Amino acid sequence: MTREEIVESIKDIIRTIAPDEELSGLKSDVRLRDQIALDSMDFLDIVMELRKRYGVQVPEEDYKELATLDGCVAYLHPRLKDRPAKVGV
């Protein structure tokens, strides 16, 4: 997956979990929770979707790395660069 595909995958996961949020104007360097209404249950679902879709295991101590879209890319790209993207699962 490219960096762009990772961004699209994260957005796709958020769309699955929170279809009522508007994602088109998301800034990549601002905390996701400051831009859209995601609670801790939603956040844990993002982590579980990553595992379900891509087999990537994010331990609790790394959750903070996923706070922004840029953070997600930095954290996930090394782990996902050899995997194909899955959208709309």
Partner 1 sequence: MPAPRYDAIVLGAGMSGLAAAIRLAQYERRVLLLERHALVGGLNSWYKRGGRRFDTGLHALTNYAKRGAPGAPLTKILRQLRLSWEDLALAPQTRSEIAFPHMRLSFSNENELLESEIARAFPASRAGFAALVAAVRAANPFDAAAPFVSTRARLAEFAIEPELVEMLLLPLLWYGSALAQDLAWDDFVILFRSILLEGFARPEGGVKTLLDLLVARARECGAELRTNTPVTRILVEHGAARGVELESGETILAEQVYSSAGWVETRALAGAPVPDSERGWVTIFEHMCVTKSPHRARGHDAAITFFSEVERPRWSPPTELVSFETGVICCSDNYATKQAPTDGLLRATLLANHDRWSALPEAEYEAAKLSAAARLEQLCASHVPDPRPETVLRDSFTPRTIRYYTAHAGGAVYGSPVRHRDGRCGIAELYLIGNDQGLVGITGALLSGITMANQHGLYARNT
Cβ 71 to partner 1, closest distance in Å?
Answer: 20
Nearer to partner 1, 55 or 81 (CB): 55
Q: Which residues of 23-37 are buried (b: 16+ CB within 10 A; e: fewer)?
A: beebeeeeebeebbe
- Nearest residue (CB) to partner 1, 36 versus 70: 36
* Interaction of residue 61 with partner 1, rule CB under 8 A: no
* CA-closest candidate to residue 31, choices 4, 61, 70: 70
Q: How many residues bind partner 1 (CB under 8 A)?
A: 17
Residue 82 contacts partner 1 per CB under 8 A: no
CA 38 – CA 57 distance, rounded (Å): 20
Q: Which is nearer to partner 1, 14 or 72 (CB)?
A: 14
